[in-house]
């Protein structure tokens, strides 16, 4: 069964728009996470950015205490954030590239150019009982390098697919890339997640990509929640996801 991890970053984005610098504020990302779990989500994802633009340290600790499913901490490979992960002990971390000027994470991690550093971090996290995923573009060299780090998962960046969705030829090219990367990952012992830009409308177009374990989806669900509520948005996405059958 394809699992859904709900990214609650943009619940915190909305809170910080009014309550930045305050000890409390609404909406509460932890309450949102609990609503997602109650609606059937299999896990909760939160990105603790270096600039703390949305999710804050207190949110991560509160999520660790409150949720009953799987906590996925997205993070850059920096000493400060790695140290926090080792203290909080999420179930899994997803290491992502991070640029201060970007609105959201754009592009995949350059694992090829950072195998040694990522391997060292992976070992430290695994020794603490934390699984490791690397957020990468669907490129053969990056998949191969991810396997060399000893990580348990990759998360395929589906942003290019989402951007190409309205153009049939371009969309199909991206589906081919995702499929090849997923198949290669399985061959080298990696489990495969995916995320970025996925919606109820575009998701069925990647149902042919094999070996997917979990989708991490945030912005679309928070956006849908404005009109139909967060639990309904989660249930809607889970209903679409039932169409995925890994026949490979």
- Catalytically annotated residues: 47, 74, 196
Which among 237, 229, 194, 200 has a CA at the least distance from the CA of 31? 229
Helices (H) and strands (E) counted in the chain, each on its own, are 10, 8
Three-class DSSP category at 96: coil
φ, ψ for residue 138, nearest 5 deg: -75, 75
Secondary structure class of 44 (helix, strand, coil): strand
* Bridge partners for 136 per DSSP: 156
User: For residue 126, what is the enclosing H or E element?
Assistant: helix 115-127
DSSP code at position 94: E
Those residues with Cβ within 8 angstroms of residue 239's Cβ, 6 or more apart along the chain or in another chain: none
């Amino acid at each position: 069964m394809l699992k859904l991890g709900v990214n609650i970053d943009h619940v915190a984005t909305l809170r910080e728009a009014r309550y930045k610098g305050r000890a409390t504020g609404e909406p509460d990302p932890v309450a949102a996470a609990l609503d997602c779990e109650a609606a059937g989500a299999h896990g909760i994802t939160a990105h603790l950015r270096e600039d703390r633009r949305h999710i804050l340290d207190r949110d991560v600790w509160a999520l660790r205490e409150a949720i009953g499913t799987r906590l996925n901490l997205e993070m850059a490979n920096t000493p400060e954030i790695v140290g926090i992960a080792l203290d909080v002990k999420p179930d899994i971390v997803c290491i992502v590239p991070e640029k201060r000027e970007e609105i959201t994470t754009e592009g995949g991690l350059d694992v090829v150019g950072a195998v040694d550093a990522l391997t060292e971090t992976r070992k430290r996290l695994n020794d603490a009982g934390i699984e490791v995923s690397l957020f990468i573009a669907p490129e053969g060299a990056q998949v191969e390098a991810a396997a060399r780090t000893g990580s348990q998962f990759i998360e395929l960046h589906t942003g290019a697919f989402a951007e190409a969705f309205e153009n049939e030829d371009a969309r199909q090219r991206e589906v081919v890339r995702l499929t090849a990367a997923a198949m290669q990952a399985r061959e080298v012992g990696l489990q495969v997640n995916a995320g970025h830009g996925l919606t109820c409308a575009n998701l069925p177009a990647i149902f042919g990509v094999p070996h997917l374990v979990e989708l991490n989806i945030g912005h679309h669900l928070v956006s849908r929640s404005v009109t139909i509520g967060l639990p309904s948005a989660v249930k809607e996405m889970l209903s679409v996801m039932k169409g995925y059958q890994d026949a490979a």
